[in-house]
Amino acid sequence: MSNEETNKFHFFNRIKTSIVDFDKYQIFANEKFGKAIIYLLLLMIIFSCVVALSFTYQFKQSVDEGVSYIKNNIEDIKYENGILSVNNDNELFINTNFNMIPIVIINTQEDTDKVNEYIDEIGRYDSGIIILKDKIVYKNNLLSGTMEYEYNQIANEYSISNFTKEELLELINGLTTLNLYMGFFIVSAIYMFIIYFTSTIIDALMLALLGFIVARIVSVKIKFKACFNMGIYALTLPIILNLIYIVVNMFTGINIKYFQWMYTTISYIYMILAILLIRTDLINKHMELIKIINEQEKVRKDLEQQKEDKDNDKEEKPEQEDKQKKRDKEPKEDDNIDDNGLAPQQ
């Protein structure tokens, strides 16, 4: 494929090709390293935005459910100078029926030595929230760790110095606008992008190492950079499947026990098949080259034979002319016979 044709190989066309057309992996391998990275960046931006959008939607539902719970179950809330107090700092464990946040732990006491215990507790669930005196800790099974939001940061952003339960409810109703959810979306998207882009780069490096080893085993000389390029494209289908799984899991709670194993296996299969197809293509090209060389050799021999025959003809022609001249000079018997058919008497 020429440079012009490669430039017309656009992003969504690359997604389709990397999934269904193994023959094009040789093109991906020969591309510049920067093009593969740009492709991965765009893919992970889409991935992060879709996941963050799903989080934002569930966050909105959580806010609505939280408002309802506060109205009906929380007696006292007080926030002042960055410190929150709920129900006179009593410890609360709240089990919800919501998939996104099945458990909420509240402890606004001065002593926060139990934070690690709380993190372990919500670790038993897919996700959960810990409300402390100075911050909120959020955990989700899709995240490698926890996310923390300090009250001071939120208060400074929205110019909040203090509030009570009634003021909080009014504040939440006032804050549940596009700006709040957009802020949550942006933070989630950035966090998701950093986490998943880093992990995908590591997966691509592992695939590149696998491809490099397999290429050497099957006697195909491929540079590590080319294997890394192919590794990125080999991860396309697993990334899309992972995105679908995350969204479905988020809204339905369905878990696939061996999904990570499937994710890895698919990418490895793509990589190995791409290497083997490249080997097959090289063998076919080698056979075609041998065939062309043989044909050229045959043509060369034919030309040499024709030239040799032509040279021989040139050498034989003067000899034949000399013989003909000699014949012409020799007296003929007919010249010694008169008109009566008798030879002259001597």
Instruction: Output the DSSP codes for 135-164.
Output: EEEEEETTSSSEEEEEHHHHHHHTT--EEE
More confident residue, 316 or 191: 191
Strands 135-140 and 92-95: unpaired
Question: For residue 321, is pLDDT > 60?
Answer: no
pLDDT value at position 286?
A: 61
pLDDT value at position 38?
A: 94
What mean pLDDT comes out for the span 126-138?
Answer: 85
pLDDT value at position 318?
A: 61
pLDDT value at position 2?
A: 44
Most confident of 255-264, 305-314, 320-329: 255-264
Question: For residue 204, is pLDDT > 50?
Answer: yes
Give 263-306 pLDDT, tens digit per residue.
889 999 999 998 888 888 777 766 676 777 777 777 777 777 77
Question: For residue 104, is pLDDT > 60?
Answer: yes
Round to the nearest angstrom and report the end-to-end CA distance of the chain: 97
The band of 1, judged by pLDDT with boundaries at 50, 70 and 90, is very low
Sequence-distant (6+) residues with CB within 8 A of 162 are 78, 79, 80, 81
Give the CA angle between residues 258, 241, 26 to the nearest 5°.
110
Distances (CA, A) of 229 to 2, 5, 12, 175, 179: 18, 18, 17, 45, 39
Question: For residue 167, is pLDDT > 50?
Answer: yes
Give 218-247 pLDDT, tens digit per residue.
888 888 999 999 999 999 999 999 999 988
233-272 burial code (b ≥16 CB/10 A, e <16): bbbbbbbeebbebbbebbeeeeeeeeeeeebeebbbebbb
Question: For residue 256, is pLDDT > 80?
Answer: no
Give 138-148 pLDDT, tens digit per residue.
887 666 667 88
Most confident of 91-105, 118-132, 160-174, 317-331: 118-132
Phi and psi at residue 134, to the nearest 5°? -125, -5
Nearest to 210 by CA among 264, 144, 150: 264
CA dihedral 214, 218, 221, 224 (to 10 degrees): 0
Question: For residue 343, is pLDDT > 80?
Answer: no
Domain boundaries along the sequence of the chain: 3-43+194-285, 52-186
Average pLDDT, the chain: 80
Distances (CA, A) of 234 to 17, 237, 276, 294: 10, 7, 14, 38
CB atoms within 10 A of CB 172: 16
